[in-house]
Amino acid sequence: MRLGLTQSLRTEQRLMQSPQMIQAMQILQTPLLELKDQIEQELQENVFLELKDDPRENQERPEPLPALEEKMQREFSDQLDQLELRMGPGQRGLSGSSGGSSHDEEDRKQSALNNTAGHDMSLPEHLMSQARILDLDEDLLHLVEHVIYSLDADAKLQDTAEQVAQQMLVPIPLAEKAIQIVRSLEPTGVAARDLRDRLLMQLDRLEYVRPLTRILVANYLEDVARNKLPKICKETGATIDEIKDSIEYLRHACDPNPASAFDQNTNSGVIPDVVVLENDGKYEVKSQRGSVPELSLSPRYREMLKEAKSDPQIYEYLRRKIEAAKWFIEAVHQRQSTIERIAGEVVRRQDGFLRHGVQQLKPMKMQDIADTVGVHISTVSRAISGKFIETPQGIFDMKRFFSGGTQNDDGAMVSQQAVKDTLKHIVEGEDKSNPLSDDQLVLELSKKGVHIARRTVTKYRKALHIDSSTRRRQF
C-alpha cells in the first residue's frame, strides 16, 4: 500500500445558478409593494435604468452636460475616478470635469439625511424620555436605563431586584428603587411580573374599582380565562351577571399588552397582483402591470459605450452596468408573465368558487398547476408567495387556493378551506349556552356530507382560532 498525494480527473454534471438566475427568482418571490421599493433602488444605483415616459426627461437641462452623465458622476464618482487614473490627459471627457464632485457628494449625502423620515419612537425610548425629566442622579438613571432595556417583548420584567443588583453590582434597595421608578412610568403596566401583576397595577391607578373586580384579578384570573364562572360564583357568592360585568369592565379599563402601541411592525395595505374580470360569462385574468413602474434602457448607453472603447476598463465597467440593467428589466417582465399564467390556470380551475363562493372551492395542488403551466413546482411556490388576487368574491392570498381535500357523500372532492368555512358557520349558529363539542361538530359535518376525524376537527378549529366548547359557553 503506497501513501502519498495523487491527482485524478472525473466528469460530473452540476447545476449552477448564475447571479442573474438568483436575482430573477428573488424578484419573482417579492411582493408587489416591496418590488416597487426594489425598482426605485435599482433606478438610483444603475445609471442605465430609467422609467418609460418619465416626465423629468422632458424638462429643460440648464447644463450642457447630459443628465445621465451628471448622474453617473454623482453616484459612481469614486469608481470612475479610479478608472480614469489609467487614462491619458486627453481622454477624461467621458465623465466630465470632476472639480466639484466632492462638494456635490457632500451635498447629496446631507440632502439624503435631511429628507430621511424619522422612525417611530420605541417603547424603551419613550420610557427613557420620561425618566430623564425625573431629576435622578446619574447612577440611578443608569440603573433605570438598564431595567428599561431588560424588559422583554411584552414589556414584562423577568429579572428580580436581586438579579438586577448582581448584574449591575449595586445594593438591592437601589435596584428595587430603579424597578419601582420604571413601574411608575407610562404606559401603566410596564415592568410587570406577569398578567395578574400588570392588571393590578392598572387597577391601582383607577379612581374606583369594585372589590369583586379586584378579587377576580387577584384570585380567579385563570378561572376567568377558562370560563369557569359557576365555580367563581360558588366561591365568591357573586351572581353570574355581577361576574360578567366585572369581566367586561376589565376588558375596557385595562390593557393586557401596553407595548402593542409601540410595535414597529405595522400592517401595510394590500395591492393585488392580478384582477379577475368577468367578460361575457367567462372569467379573465388581468395583470396589474400599471402598478409596476415600466423600465427601459437609457438611449445614451450606445453612445457612451462607443466613447469608452478607448479604455478597456471603463468599457467593461459600463458593459456590466448595461447587462445588469437588461437582466433586471427582463426579470421584472418575467415575473409579471409567470404570475399571470399561474393565476390564469388557477382561475380556470376555480370557476365554481368565483361564481358561488368558498363552498365551491376545489382542492388543488401546486404540482398540478406547475405541470399545466410548464414550470417547476418551486416556481409556482415563489410566484404565489405574498401575492394577492382580486376576485368577484373579494381579495385573497393566492396561497388560499392551494389545499388538500376530502371526499363528500356525492363522491366529489371538497377542499380544506370549504370544510373550514362549513365548520365556522356551524359554530356561529350553535346555541351559545350549550356549545357543540368536537365530537358533536363531527356529527354536524357528517350531516352535511363531510366525514372527517375528531382530531381533524380539532385541528381546523384551532386554525380558525375557535375556542373549545368550554370556553365558548356563555352563561
More confident residue, 393 or 405: 393
> Identity (one letter) of the amino acid at 133?
I
pLDDT > 80? residue 107: no
pLDDT > 70? residue 109: no
> Identity (one letter) of the amino acid at 178?
A
Q: What is the pLDDT of residues 65-88, one digit of tens each?
A: 344 444 444 444 444 344 444 333
- Binned at pLDDT 50, 70 and 90, residue 4 comes out as low
pLDDT > 60? residue 398: yes
CB atoms within 10 A of CB 326: 15
Q: Which of 62-76, 138-152, 338-352 has the lowest mean pLDDT?
A: 62-76
Do the domains 123-193 and 406-472 sit in the same CATH topology, yes or no? yes
pLDDT > 90? residue 172: yes
Q: What is the pLDDT of residues 127-137, one digit of tens each?
A: 999 999 888 89
pTM of this prediction? Answer: 0.53
In angstroms, the CA 150 to CA 158 distance is 8
More confident residue, 97 or 3: 3
Residue 364's DSSP bridge partners are 403
Q: What is the pLDDT of residue 279?
A: 85
The answer to whether the CB of 449 falls within 8 A of the CB of 409 is yes
Q: What's the whole-number average pLDDT of the chain?
A: 79
**Helix axes 77-84 and 101-114, enclosed angle (nearest 10):** 160
In angstroms, the CA 384 to CA 401 distance is 10
Strand order in the sheet with 274-279: 282-287, 274-279, 388-391, 394-397
Q: Grid coordinates standing for 407?
A: 371526499
**DSSP result, 259-273:** GGGG-S-PPPP---S
Give whole-number Cα distances, 461 to 182, 336, 416, 468, in Å: 40, 36, 12, 8
Phi/psi for 394 (5° steps) reads 125, -175
Q: What is the pLDDT of residue 289?
A: 63
Q: What is the pLDDT of residues 226-283, one digit of tens each?
A: 888 899 999 999 999 999 999 999 988 899 998 887 755 444 567 888 899 888 888 8
CATH: 3.40.50.970, 2.60.40.1760, 1.10.10.1330, 1.10.110.30. Which one for 123-193?
A: 1.10.10.1330
More confident residue, 299 or 102: 299
Q: Where along the chain do its domains lie?
A: 123-193, 211-263, 406-472
Q: Stretch 287-314: mean pLDDT, rounded? A: 75
Q: Name the nearest CA neighbour of 375 among 386, 367, 363, 384.
A: 367
Kind of pairing between the strands at 49-51 and 295-297: antiparallel
In angstroms, the CA 364 to CA 350 distance is 9
Question: In sequence order, what are the residues at sequence separation of 6 or more whose Cβ sits closer than 8 angstroms to the Cβ of residue 242?
Answer: 212
Burial (CB count <10 Å: 0-12, 13-18, 19+), residue 241:
exposed
CATH number of 406-472: 1.10.10.60
- Binned at pLDDT 50, 70 and 90, residue 219 comes out as very high
Q: What is the pLDDT of residue 422?
A: 87
Q: Which of 74-78, 315-319, 331-335, 383-387 has the lowest mean pLDDT?
A: 74-78
Q: What is the pLDDT of residue 408?
A: 65
